[in-house]
Amino acid sequence: MNLKDTFVKDAETMLNTDEFAEIVNWDGKDIKVIPESVSDPMKNLEDISTNGLIQKRYKVFVQEAVLPNPPVIGSLVEIDGEHYTIDEAEPSGTMLEITCIKGEGR
């Protein structure tokens, strides 16, 4: 076992993906993600009044091993049948912190 394998195993233990993760269909593949915990659901919505749109934000943490090719900012991804645009994709230890946005009309 190399150092990277050790970090992956530690992430599984520390983040307890079996307890906190939910399974989503990410571009046709079922993967475990840990959604960002938001106490106020309105924090996920940002009103962009100039365009008359509301952007739905979906932020998740995914183990890097699950998505060997990190998503590219600006690319489209289908999550559970809904289309999102990748807004941010930052490595965070052995995890990827991914923020997706979906524009919706009022």
pLDDT tens column, 30-80: 998 888 854 444 554 554 444 556 677 889 988 888 887 889 999 999 999
- The angle at the Cα of 53, spanning 76 to 70, to the nearest 5 degrees, equals 20
Q: Six-digit token pair at 25? A: 């269909």
Average pLDDT of the chain to the nearest whole number: 77
Half-sphere exposure of residue 14: CA atoms within 13 angstroms, side-chain side: 10
User: Averaged over 83-97, what is the pLDDT?
Assistant: 88
Q: Residue 70: helix, strand or coil by DSSP?
A: coil
* Domains recognised in the chain with CATH numbers: 3-105 (2.40.10)
What local confidence, expressed as pLDDT, does residue 76 receive? 93
- Which residues lie below 8 Å from residue 54, measured CB to CB, with a gap of 6+? 45, 46, 47, 48, 103, 104, 105, 106
Residue type (1 letter), 72: V
